[in-house]
Amino acid sequence: MITMNKVSKHYGSFQVLADCTTHVNKGEVVVVCGPSGSGKSTLIKCVNGLEPFQSGEITVNGVSVGDPQTNLSKLRAHVGMVFQNFELFPHMSIAQNLTIAQIKVLGRDKAEAEVKGMQLLDRVGLRAQALKYPGQLSGGQQQRVAIARALAMDPICMLFDEPTSALDPEMINEVLDVMTELAQEGMTMMCVTHEMGFAKRVAHRVVFMDHGRIVEDDHKDAFFANPSSERAQQFLAKILQH
């Protein structure tokens, strides 16, 4: 579904990504982790072309992201993305947040989009909030709406960029529950996250990054039981103690 081949990116002389090669198969959940500044957020933003990269190739469902001929808007419409800071549109009600792109991008009619939006709101347990505005919801609720908004576009895969990092601890689980459910239904997912519990429970593979390089790319059991690099061992030792 997603393939990356020797992707490199630099800002001036600063190398953000160096020869990153990995893939996400259909129905697979891949967790990307690593210390801050390791390039994991940049990597996931390259997948839907939000960040340009200078060399290498990324394909999503066979379409090359870096190719100037590619219609990126069309590609992105089917690649859901969830952000650290939710990024709901603050001037629209929750219902409008869920329908606007269905109507303007996919060309669905309003009634159809509303039905779809309400179904998804129901699914994330927020049907009662449909007429409120994002500023009136808690962080966890906003992030669940953001997931529903992405799902409303019938995505072929979902990208999560630290979806729980901006949340209060007690709201993290409500978001992880929604993500776990999605994964169990067979959604193709690439998640940048520090939630190692989630990774252990749900992921198929774990990609570990450091200084813009993919240091480990392994089955999750192998990664947690026996990380091959010293850097990953240190990282896990620090994270898992807590």
Q: Minimal distance in Å, beta carbon 145 to other proteins?
A: 12
d(CA 41, CA 31): 12
Do the Cβ atoms of 199 and 208 come closer than 8 Å? no
When the beta carbons of 77 and 236 are compared against other proteins, the nearer one is 77
Q: Minimal distance in Å, beta carbon 219 to other proteins?
A: 29
What's the length of the chain? 242
When the beta carbons of 47 and 215 are compared against other proteins, the nearer one is 47
Q: Minimal distance in Å, beta carbon 153 to other proteins?
A: 7
When the beta carbons of 131 and 237 are compared against other proteins, the nearer one is 131
168-198 burial, b at 16+ Cβ within 10 Å, e below that, comes to eeebbbbbbebbeebbeeebbbbbbbbbbeb
Q: Minimal distance in Å, beta carbon 185 to other proteins?
A: 21
Q: Minimal distance in Å, beta carbon 80 to other proteins?
A: 8
Do the Cβ atoms of 212 and 195 come closer than 8 Å? no
When the beta carbons of 121 and 150 are compared against other proteins, the nearer one is 150
* Residues contributing to the site for other proteins (CB under 8 A): 45, 48, 50, 72-74, 76-79, 81, 83-85, 87-91, 100-101, 104-106, 132-137, 149-150, 153, 166
CA-CA-CA-CA dihedral for 111, 115, 117, 123, to nearest 10: 180
When the beta carbons of 48 and 216 are compared against other proteins, the nearer one is 48
d(CA 154, CA 207): 26
Q: Minimal distance in Å, beta carbon 147 to other proteins?
A: 12
Determine the residue type at 7.
Answer: V
Q: Minimal distance in Å, beta carbon 231 to other proteins?
A: 29
What is the DSSP-derived secondary structure letter of residue 129?
Answer: G
When the beta carbons of 43 and 215 are compared against other proteins, the nearer one is 43
When the beta carbons of 18 and 77 are compared against other proteins, the nearer one is 77
Determine the residue type at 21.
Answer: T
As beta bridge partners, residue 55 has 8
d(CA 98, CA 14): 38
Do the Cβ atoms of 42 and 9 come closer than 8 Å? yes
Report the Cα 191 to chain-centroid distance in Å.
5
